[in-house]
Amino acid sequence: MSRRRRNRAMVPGSEHGLGLLKAHVMQNQGYAVNPERPDLVKYEVARTLGVPLQQGYNGNLSSEDAGRVGGPIGGAMVRELVRMAQQQMANQRPPGQ
């Protein structure tokens, strides 16, 4: 019996913003992203890496291959979030410091 995993954002209601971030980041990485469905970019990433990811059941996909697809997406999003936080912190410094 297969279990369906449901990834949810830690902050309720932030899913739309995270989708926009994913679309922006992956477009900057050179991928064609549909802003209406940024979650579908994983299939393009998989295709470029030669990973046989397809819509629907992927139980035959190894953990290594799944990580090869999700790693670049999540990693790029985290790098962008860190960059944004650093920029925001730099802009909040009191004058003279």
Model confidence pLDDT, tens digit, residues 60-94: 999 999 999 999 999 999 999 999 999 999 998 77
Residue 30 belongs to what domain range? 15-54+62-91
Per-residue pLDDT of 3-29, as tens digits, reads 555 677 888 889 999 999 999 999 999
Question: With contact defined as beta carbons under 8 Å apart, do 69 and 49 qualify?
Answer: yes
Q: Considering only CA atoms, which of 82, 72, 84, 83 is closest in space to residue 29?
A: 72
- Tokens representing 78 are 């985290």
- Tokens representing 27 are 């477009």
Name the domain count of the chain: 1
Is 96 a member of any domain? no
How far apart CA 26 and CA 22 sit, in angstroms, is 6
Is 31 a member of any domain? yes
